[in-house]
Amino acid sequence: MEEEQEEEEEEEAQEFKHENDHHLLFSSIFGDSDSEESEDWLYGSPHHTNERWESVEHVDGLWRCNHFLSPNQQQRILKAIETDCGVFLYLWWTQAMRFGRLPDWALDLSSQIHNSVLKFKSMDSKCSTKTDPISSPSTAAQSQCPLPEDILLREPLFDQMIANSYEPGEGITAHVDLLRFEDGIAIVSLLSPCVMCFRSVPDPLCSYPNKVNGHINEENQLNDTGAKVQILLSPGDLIVMSGTARYEWTHEINRNKDQQVWQGEALKQERRISVTLRRLCPQLVLGD
Ligand X SMILES: O=C(O)CCC(=O)C(=O)O
The contact set with ligand X (CB under 6 A) reads 162, 164, 172, 177, 187, 189, 251, 274, 276
Is 110 or 121 the residue whose CB approaches ligand X more closely? Answer: 110
| 8-state DSSP, 129 | P
Q: How many angstroms separate the CA atoms of 143 and 138, rounded?
A: 7
Q: How far is the CB of 188 from ligand X (least distance, A)?
A: 8
Report the candidate in 99, 101, 44 with the shortest Cα–Cα distance to residue 76: 44
Peptide bond into 156 cis (omega under 30): yes
From the centroid of its chain, how far is CA 146? 16
From the centroid of its chain, how far is CA 7? 45
Is 121 or 246 the residue whose CB approaches Fe ion more closely? Answer: 246
Q: How far is the CB of 288 from ligand X (least distance, A)?
A: 24
Site pattern 193..222 for Fe ion (x: CB under 5 A): ------------------------------
Is 159 or 177 the residue whose CB approaches ligand X more closely? Answer: 177
Q: How far is the CB of 242 from ligand X (least distance, A)?
A: 14
Kind and range of the H or E element at 91?
helix 88-91
Q: How far is the CB of 172 from ligand X (least distance, A)?
A: 5
Q: Which residue is nearest to ligand X (CB)?
A: 274
Q: How many angstroms separate the CA atoms of 210 and 218, rounded?
A: 10
Is 116 or 254 the residue whose CB approaches ligand X more closely? Answer: 254
Coil, helix or strand for 254?
A: coil
Determine, following the binding rule CB under 5 A, whether residue 248 of this chain makes contact with Fe ion: no
Q: How far is the CB of 276 from Fe ion (least distance, A)?
A: 6
User: What is the CB neighbour count within 10 angstroms for residue 113?
Assistant: 23
Q: How many angstroms separate the CA atoms of 110 and 184, rounded?
A: 12
For helices 2-30 and 71-85, give the axis angle rounded to 10 degrees: 140
Distances, alpha carbon 26 to alpha carbons 17, 90, 91, 251, 266, in Å: 14, 8, 10, 29, 26
Q: How far is the CB of 260 from ligand X (least distance, A)?
A: 13
- Determine the interface stretch with Fe ion among 42-50, 131-139, 169-177, 199-207 (rule: CB under 5 A): 169-177
Q: How many angstroms separate the CA atoms of 123 and 128, rounded?
A: 10
Is 60 or 177 the residue whose CB approaches Fe ion more closely? Answer: 177
Interaction partner, residue 141 (Fe ion, ligand X, none; CB < 5-8 Å by kind):
none
Is 118 or 162 the residue whose CB approaches ligand X more closely? Answer: 162
User: What is the CB neighbour count within 10 angstroms for residue 165?
Assistant: 20
Is 42 or 102 the residue whose CB approaches Fe ion more closely? Answer: 102
Interaction partner, residue 164 (Fe ion, ligand X, none; CB < 5-8 Å by kind):
ligand X
One of 108, 177, 237, 248 touching Fe ion (CB under 5 A): 177
Number of residues that bind Fe ion (CB under 5 A): 1
Bridge partners (DSSP) listed for residue 239: 64, 187
| 8-state DSSP, 135 | S
Q: How far is the CB of 89 from Fe ion (least distance, A)?
A: 17
Q: How far is the CB of 96 from Fe ion (least distance, A)?
A: 15
Binding site for Fe ion (CB under 5 A): 177
